[in-house]
Amino acid sequence: MSSLTVWKFNTADGAARALSKLEELQKQQLIQVLDAAVVSWPEGRKRPQTRQAVDTVAVGALGGVFWGMLFGLLFFAPLLGALVGATAGAISGRFTDYGINDDFIKDVQSKVTEGTSALFLLTGQVTLDKVEAAFAPEERGELIQSKLSAEQEAKLREDFGAEV
């Protein structure tokens, strides 16, 4: 079973630094990163910068469409107002199929703000105690988590999985 997690960091570059460390830990087989995306919101910017961090031809990768829709829903649709309200509502409803509900969306929107960053991870196996120990307390982010059931994971891969 996979987990979709979001880690919020109190600096604009914290998520990128954490992902680099996770890539090292993956080489040690302590974590399996199936897909990842980084949101960085530097001070003084109106909107965050987003990037998919894992090559979409990798096994387990969700593809840019998933991340684009999720980030649009989280960070850009609120800025566009009623014009896209119905579309955003339909997309939001679709994401509940994957365990991403309104509470999750509101939580992320309220916490990932200017001057912060977030790391969105789709992970498989994790040796939690060793991964946790690899991060100094000041490097750890705040966890916002949405676990995926086997059915939600299958649906997510069916709808958004990258071609392999």
Question: What is the reported pTM?
Answer: 0.73
The count of other CB atoms within 10 Å of the CB of residue 154 is 12
Instruction: Write out the residue range of the structural domain in which residue 45 sits.
Output: 3-160
The count of other CB atoms within 10 Å of the CB of residue 28 is 11
CA distance 34 to 138: 25
Structure tokens belonging to residue 44: 């003084």
What's the angle, vertex CA 36, arms to CA 30 and CA 39, rounded to 5? 125
pLDDT values of the chain reduced to their tens digit, one per residue, 164 residues? 677 788 999 999 999 999 999 999 999 999 998 888 898 999 999 888 888 776 544 545 555 666 666 666 666 655 444 444 444 444 445 555 556 677 777 888 889 899 999 998 888 888 988 998 999 888 889 988 666 677 766 766 666 554 33
Scan for tokens 């679709």, then name that residue: 94
What is the domain count for the chain? 1
Q: How far is CA 6 from CA 71, 77, 86, in A?
A: 12, 19, 26
**C-beta separation of 145 from 5 below 8 A:** yes
Instruction: Tell how strand 3-9 and strand 49-52 pair up.
Output: unpaired
Is the torsion defined by CA of 118, 99, 107, 46 positive or negative?
positive
